[in-house]
Structure 1
Amino acid sequence: MSDFVTFTNEFGQTVQMSREDYQKKVIPANLDRYWDDKDKLRDFAMELAKEQFNEEAASAADRLLELYGPIESALIFRAVVHMQAKEFERAKTILINCLDRFPASGTACTNLAKIYGAEGDEAKAFEMLETGLFKDPNQENALNLYAQAFVNSGRKDELRRRLETLSSKEGAWRPKLHLARLALTEENLLKAMQWYREAIEGTKDRFEVVMTVTGELGQAGYVYQLIQICEEYWQPEFPYPYAGFNYANALLATDQKEKAIAILRHMQDHLADNYKPMVDHFLARIPGAAEAEAAAVQKVALEQAENPAHKKSWWKFWKS
């Protein structure tokens, strides 16, 4: 645990402060300020839990239960704060109550599994983890724990079978990411790409999965497959630039500098203002990018002078 806390103050500035000062000066003021604002208090409480200010997080969690009532997320958050303080019996009681109220809660099962694991009951922990995944197969943390348990014991074939069972459930897409990763470790690229595509096509918010898939393909060195995924699924309208950066890196690695610059500029048009400078910083690190962009702009200007009907931005011409 760090001796300092980094946070954003009310003026939008990033501030670093010692834990002691933060605990004395910031936490009481913010708790007082947000005490009757359930949304802001929830966000602050999550920060308190993340930074392991357990006593203050507990106070906020109790207040959230008052404000929201015993809804699933408020009950689970209260249990998690108990878990961080190693108050396992109290956490267990809340999670069992949560399951009584919300029988479909996979997250409650996963947190119960963590408690059983901390208590040394590995068999019960695994059983509860699997139960939670059958309720909600898209839990990222639960799937990571589940997959690691099989990998650690050398049971990859059994893991594959169980992931395939989970992936067959309606709406399940995250198990397919794990199946793709498993295929990559076995150098079965064709199968990995199949699972990656199925994972992307099974989600509503594709931008998150495309970002994950392109990151994994890039790290594995499969740049042509990364480009293939982007040409099928990437959109310049995605709210975050990271998949676009992965796409651009792959294009640069395959000597397609002009196209990389084009997709970055096209993406920049659609990004929120706080992300736009990231594109400029990315471009500044590409050798010869400024010259290539200037040449492309000049080329398009000449083409538009010859044919005034074409009024596209220069970076859209690479699609033609």
Structure 2
Amino acid sequence: MNDKDREEINKEDKMIVVYDEEGNEKLISAEVWREEVLPVHLKINFDNPDNLYNLIVISLQDGFYLEILEATEVLIKIDPDKERSYNARGILLMSLDDLDGAEKLLKKYINEFGATGVILTNLAKVYDKKNQKLKSIETLWEALEHDPNQDSGLMWWAAIHREKAGEKGFYDAMRKAATIKGSWRPQLWLARELLEKKDLKKAKKYYSKILKMAEDSFDALMQISGDLGNNGYIDEVIELIYPIYVLEKHSPEVGFNILQCFIEKKEYFEGEKLLAKLYDLENPTIKENLIHFSKEFESLKN
């Protein structure tokens, strides 16, 4: 197994799904992963920042905090991507309730490398945990001014305003974020609002501008295809998304949305062409999805 083999924890029986080199699914206990597998994988990747970072992210998600203390220190030393290494260490310190340590670390990054949206968002989280609410909100807005398209910061910003003023507050927050130069993610949500009001024409204007800026973004294509499909605009998914969909950039999940549209339109010829490309990925994690779509297309032929 390598660092990408571990897939997810089953919370009920505390088992982890992993895949061997042949793509076969196996189960091991979370305890075995934590005590026997993870330490070995961490150490053998102390000279590989990408693999080490992936293991750290997985461990943060699973709550294995103490197990990666040393690894996050090593990552800061070896990783050319200083933002992600400092960010990972900062999140870990917050998870361990070392708020002063996290604040000091994130400020050190800003002093040495300059402020970024992600670093400022996590600094805002530190202030929030310290109950410094005003300072947290001010720092969060500063984070969005640096990068209005970071999902975590934007959704937190909108959630704060939703708590105060409901859905109107949520969309008003998105409208404010959409005024920041270079923004496109807030506009995704404004387009969704328009679709829910059946105003496809205005929504498509947003999508046209978004795709000029974020055609390579998985998030953009995923939300646009999902929102259009969920609101019944199947033709528009094929019109806007299918021509620019590239497997290597946009991931299989966007392809699933497109395949579903072909099924609903009963266009099995184009659908099976895309399905064949997805099969060519030989990705065991999407095998069941592809089998499902294969059966759907076969049923259309009968």
**Shorter-chain TM-score range:** 0.7 to 0.9
Match of 1:51 among 50, 62, 66: 62
> CA deviation digits over 1:128-167, x for unaligned, max 9?
1111000011100111111112222116666656544533
Q: Report deviation, 1:286.
A: 4.9
Q: Aligned partners of 1:30 and 1:113: how far apart in 2?
A: 32
Segment drifting more, 117-126 vs 241-250: 241-250
Q: Which residue of 1 aligns with 2:4?
A: none
Q: Aligned partners of 2:57 and 2:218: how far apart in 1?
A: 25
Alpha carbons of structure 1 residues 119 and 104: separation in structure 2 relative to 1, 3 Å: closer
Is 1:176 aligned to 2:187, yes or no? yes
> CA deviation digits over 1:76-98, x for unaligned, max 9?
11111111111111001011111
Is 1:228 aligned to 2:239, yes or no? no
Segment drifting more, 202-211 vs 184-193: 184-193
1:227-246 matched pairs, under 5 angstroms: 227-235=235-243, 238-239=246-247, 240-246=251-257
Q: Report deviation, 1:20.
A: 2.1
Is 1:266 aligned to 2:273, yes or no? yes
Q: Look up the equivalent residue of 1:5 and give its one-letter code.
A: I
Q: Report deviation, 1:53.
A: 0.8
TM-score by length of 2: 0.81
Match of 1:37 among 26, 32, 48: 48
Q: Which residue of 2 aligns with 1:308?
A: none
SS in 1 for 2:33: helix
Larger-Rg structure: 1
Q: Which residue of 1 aligns with 2:3?
A: none
Identity %: 23
Q: Aligned partners of 1:286 and 1:179: how far apart in 2?
A: 34
Q: Which residue of 2 aligns with 1:299?
A: none
> CA deviation digits over 1:220-252, x for unaligned, max 9?
xx22x3421421332385213433432343344
Give the conservation status (yes or no) of the 8 Å contact 2:124–2:137: yes
Q: Which residue of 2 aligns with 1:312?
A: none
Q: Aligned partners of 1:35 and 1:42: how far apart in 2?
A: 10
Q: Which residue of 2 aligns with 1:218?
A: 229
Give the conservation status (yes or no) of the 8 Å contact 1:183–1:191: yes
Alpha carbons of structure 1 residues 161 and 135: separation in structure 2 relative to 1, 3 Å: same
Alpha carbons of structure 1 residues 33 and 210: separation in structure 2 relative to 1, 3 Å: same
Unaligned ranges ≥5, structure 1: 292-320
SS in 1 for 2:214: coil
Q: Look up the equivalent residue of 2:192 and give its one-letter code.
A: R
What's the RMSD between the two structures over aligned residues?
Answer: 2.8
Q: Larger RCO: Structure 1 or Structure 2 (Cα < 8 Å, ≥ 6 residues apart)?
A: 2
Q: Aligned partners of 1:181 and 1:171: how far apart in 2?
A: 19
Give the conservation status (yes or no) of the 8 Å contact 2:259–2:275: no
Alpha carbons of structure 1 residues 250 and 9: separation in structure 2 relative to 1, 3 Å: closer
Unaligned ranges ≥5, structure 2: 1-8
Q: Aligned partners of 1:199 and 1:105: how far apart in 2?
A: 22
Q: Aligned partners of 2:149 and 2:142: how far apart in 1?
A: 13
Q: Aligned partners of 2:222 and 2:117: how far apart in 1?
A: 25
Q: Report deviation, 1:181.
A: 2.7
Q: Which residue of 2 aligns with 1:202?
A: 213
SS in 2 for 1:284: helix
The number of aligned residues is 284
TM-score by length of 1: 0.77
Match of 1:21 among 32, 40, 48: 32
Q: Aligned partners of 2:16 and 2:166: how far apart in 1?
A: 41
> CA deviation digits over 1:9-40, x for unaligned, max 9?
56654333223222221122212322233322
Q: Report deviation, 1:185.
A: 4.9
Q: Which residue of 2 aligns with 1:124?
A: 135
> CA deviation digits over 1:149-192, x for unaligned, max 9?
22221166666565445334443211111222333455544333
Alpha carbons of structure 1 residues 10 and 91: separation in structure 2 relative to 1, 3 Å: farther
Give the conservation status (yes or no) of the 8 Å contact 1:5–1:51: no
Q: Aligned partners of 1:242 and 1:45: how far apart in 2?
A: 24
